[in-house]
Copies of this chain bind each other. A is one copy, B any other.
Amino acid sequence: MGRGLDLKTDVAALTADLVDVPSVSREEKQLADLVEQALRAYPHLAVDRDGDAVVARTRFGRAERVVLAGHIDTVPIADNLPSRLDADGVLWGCGTSDMKAGVAVQLRLAATLEDANRDLTYVFYDAEEIAAEFNGLKRLVERHPDWLAGDFAVLMEPTGGRVDGGCQGTLRVRVETTGRRAHSARSWLGENAIHKAAPILARLAAYEPRRVEIDGLTYPEGLNAVMIEGGHAGNVIPDTCAVTVNYRFSPDQSEAEALDRVRGVFEGFDVVLTDSAPGALPGLSHPAAAAFVDAIGTAPAAKEAWTDVARFSALGIPAVNYGPGDPTLAHTREEHVEVAAIREAERKLTAWLTG
Contact = CB atoms under 8 A, between A and B. Distances in A.
Given A195-B225, A196-B205, A243-B194, A234 B184 contact: no
Nearest to A275: B234
A165 interface: no
Nearest to A198: B201
Contacts of A228: 194, 197, 228-231, 241
Contact of A305 (B183, B204, B227, B237): B183
A57 interface: no
Given A197-B201, A205-B198, A233 B226 contact: yes
A82 B197 CA distance: 49
A222 interface: yes
Contacts of A226: 184, 194, 231-238
B237 A231 contact: no
A187 B227 contact: no
A22 to B, nearest CB: 28
B234 A185 contact: no
Q: Which of A197, A198, A230, A233 has the most CB of B within 10 A?
A: A198
Contacts of A225: 192, 194-195, 230-231, 238
Contacts of A275: 234
Contact of A248 (B172, B187, B201, B224): B187
A306 interface: yes
Contacts of A184: 170, 222, 224, 226, 246, 248
A205 to B, nearest CB: 4
Q: Which of A192, A201, A202 has the most CB of B within 10 A?
A: A201
Contacts of A170: 184-185, 235
Nearest to A220: B188
Nearest to A229: B229
Nearest to A186: B304
A187 B170 CA distance: 13
B185 A195 contact: no
A15 interface: no
A227 B234 contact: yes
Contacts of A185: 168, 170, 222, 248, 304-306
A352 to B, nearest CB: 28
A198 B202 CA distance: 5
Nearest to A230: B228
Interface in A173-228: 183-188, 192, 194-198, 201-202, 204-205, 209, 220, 222, 224-228
A23 B241 CA distance: 40
B231 A227 contact: yes
Interface of A: 168, 170, 172, 183-188, 192, 194-198, 201-202, 204-205, 209, 220, 222, 224-238, 241, 243-244, 246, 248, 274-275, 304-306
Instruction: Report the 5 A-B pairs with minimum CB-CB distance, sorted nearest first.
Output: A227-B231, A187-B222, A198-B201, A194-B225, A195-B205
